[in-house]
Amino acid sequence: MLGAFAVGKTSLVQRYVKSIFSEKYQTTIGVKIDKKTVMVNQTEVDLLLWDIHGEDDFQKVKSSYVVGSSGYFIVIDGTRAETFAVGLELLKLAQSAAPAASCVFLFNKADIKSEWEITENQINEIRTMGFEVIETSAKDNLSVNEAFNHIAALMLK
């Protein structure tokens, strides 16, 4: 899980792994690794989900956290324009550290789409770059399972 701080990385993992959601923002320090076993095309897959702290001036993501990954999400908060640029920066870091890994962009907080600052053009920009885009909401459980199952399937290809 890569993205700026407070985009909802931890919330997405918690929703997916534990089916819970908290409105309270609790900043992630360091790395939290969760496990979840899923069935992908009749194959049992153990997912190790690395919830990495948000990127900002206080904490920088180390490329070594991404090196061994089979896939990663770049998470962007639809309501915060600033998180788009951070997502693209982290994409560069991840592409350099794990060139073979699958990548999916998650535009989170789809439950409050009326407040989005991220434009359709920006989302299309990501699609044009060849990445899949999924609009998610950890709060309303929108497309969360689909996103994780999808990246698991991509990683198996």
Partner 1 sequence: MLRNLPENILKYLVDQVPPYTGILIVKTSAEGVVLGWHGDPADYLSEALMINEDLSDQVAALFGMIPPLVSPMVLSRIEMHSECIADIHIVEDEELNEFWIFFVNQTKEVEGIRDFLQRLNESKLSAAKSNSDNPFGALHLLDLATFKPQSDGLFSVVGELPHWFQTLSSVEGRIKGRIQLADMFPFMEVFLPEANAFWDKQRNGNFKSGVWSENAQSGNNLYLNAYAINFNGVGYLMIRPLYQEFDGEMEVMQRAREQSLAFEKLAKAERKLKDLLDYKDKFVSIVSHDLRSPVASVLSIAQMLNADEGFLAQISDFNREMLNNIQQEMLRLLDYNDKLYNWSNLELGNFTLVTSRIQLLELVTQAERTAQPKLKEKHIEMQVEVPSGFLVEVDTTLFAQVLNNLVANALKFTAEGGKLTVSAKKGEGFYVLSLADSGVGMSKEVADQLFQGFVRQSTLGTKGEKGTGLGMGIVKKILDAHGFDIKVDSVVGEGTTFSIYLPAI
Q: Which parts of this chain interact with partner 1 (CB under 8 A)?
A: 5-6, 25-27, 29-33, 48, 50, 54, 56, 58-59, 62, 64-65, 67-68, 80, 82, 117
CB of 127 to partner 1, least distance (A): 26
Output 65 or 84, the one with its CB closest to partner 1. Answer: 65
Measured from the CB atom, is 112 or 129 closer to partner 1? 112
Of 62, 58, 41, 39, the closest CA to residue 50 belongs to: 62
For residue 20, what are the contacts with CB-CB under 8 A and spacing of at least 6? 14
CA angle 3, 13, 133 (to 5 degrees): 55
Beta-carbon contacts of 156 under 8 Å, excluding residues fewer than 6 positions away, are 40, 41, 43, 45
Residue placing its CB nearer to partner 1 in the complex, 52 or 104: 52
Provide the minimum distance between the beta carbon of 23 and partner 1 in the complex, in angstroms, as a whole number. Answer: 13
| Distance in Å, CB of 150 to partner 1, minimum | 22
User: Would you say 137 and 125 are in contact if contact means Cβ atoms under 8 Å apart?
Assistant: no
